[in-house]
Structure 1
Amino acid sequence: ETNYHQPQNDDKPDSWQNSSEEDEDYDEDSDEEETDKNTKISSSEDANVMDFYEAYLRQKEFPHKYNNEHKKFVAAKERMKKNQQHKITKLLQEWQAARDHVNEVRKADPKTADNMAKEITERFQNLYAAYEKEDEAEKEQLIGLHLQHVQAALNEKKRETMDKYMRALEKGDAIKITKYLRGYIKAEEKDRMHTVNHFEHIKYSAPQEAVRIHPVIVNHLRLSEQRIDQAMGMLKRYPEIEAMVRPEVEEFLKRFDSIANSIRDVVLPEPKVEQEVEATSQT
């Protein structure tokens, strides 16, 4: 069963809190991810230095060039695959050695060799099946941890940009108000897109799980939309600034119409898997 990692732990639209973060500029393009290809090359170069899979699971420090979640995840995934392939290769080698031994025994005692062959085949087939199950569990664990890391980063980005936006409002700085409000909206929309993509994956890979988590997903997206509305609503306290800022921000919001369409088409319709299962069982 696929374990769903809830997108956010503090889904409270009115729980804004200021932090003591320094008022740094928010670069809207600073979190662009490197390509998988480049990361794979880097991870292969460092493969003999550390086990990135174990390091990722244990949240150990990575070399400096793995400076974002995406790079760390790709390196961990590649190492996990290599570990799994090595394990399977070793098993197949042992299986072949056992078959070779059976062939030697067969020269002197065919009946005993037949019994040995049957036992060996059953034992190694069971081991192979167990390894496959173990590999799938490792993959699920890695993906689940990655989703948690991504969500934590999104939540932190939202907190930071909201703090900066609120401080800019207090200072009446229209330029920074626009900048940080846009930054906050972008962080929320990235969260929404992340949630939509994850739910779409679950719909196809684990339909029953999609039915179970559907209300949680819908509620998360609804609260995210409420938070954006509340952030926009804060402008009403400053009418002169609102007149300058709102038109530009509303135009900026149009960039994310595709996410709203995805929510409408992918998430809001309730999954039908339960009804389909019942209909099949009655047939």
Structure 2
Amino acid sequence: MRKVVIIFFCLLACISLHAQEVQDVTFKRVGNTIEICYRLQHLPPRQYTWIEIYYSLDDGKNWQGPLKRIAGDVGRVEYGGKKRVEWDVFSELEKINGILAFEVRASVEEKEERGENILLYSLSETAPLGLMFARVCRWGWFVRLKTDVRSCRGSDYECNRSGIINRDLRETYYRVEDEERKSRFGVSGGIVYRLSHSFYFFVGGGYGQRRVQWRASLYKYVDDSKMRDLWLQCEPDSFSGVELDGGGIFRYRRLCLSAGMSGINGKFWELSGGLGIIF
């Protein structure tokens, strides 16, 4: 077995181009290979880095390369973070005898802008069924539809928590029953901005509606006989008008999670979440 004679291990020099940084470079022998590790930082989502590794046997006075018999995070590197490369040293060199050093050379390239589609199943407390679709490069747009699939038909009267509002029910009285019906609908659209490779921000507006209705029974004062059922729309809990929608999307590879908040007329607010894919 060939022996690797390494007189001195040293940290290699780091090159910074276009705010691209290579840091924390180390290397060690692993069997008949040399493992080189480095950390890549500040990688904008619209750029990638082309990585090449050079070696020196005279403590960095003269550099040779780039290395050919290597595998791992070299060539086109898309994302920042901790990186690892394995060099099959004896396929390029017969022996190593000297002060060994490595240099990682990083050059920044602009990515060709390609749009991505985001499809999310979204839900909230009042709208358990929803879909969100977005189209994004650096900037993009989205549309969202939400509902609870229930419907509230027209109500007989409006009420607050104290009773029916501005209605004269002479010779009759009513009793609110333990039954209610609710409905929720919203449609919105807006802009999406890609803050980084893993995070997007969206904000927009549209139309939203939430209705809460209570069932009541109407009786005659004379004989307490029931006349009919009433549906009372609870105005403090019912809203319709401008729906505001905003939040963030976190991605991991092709999967994504969303979290946000929506409201109607700035009065009714609720949290929302979602799970989807990027394609």
TM-score higher than 0.5 here?
no
Q: Please say which structure displays the higher CA radius of gyration.
A: 2
* Structure richer in helix, relative to its length: 1
Higher relative CO (Cα under 8 Å, sequence separation at least 6) belongs to 1
TM-score, structure 2 as length reference: 0.24
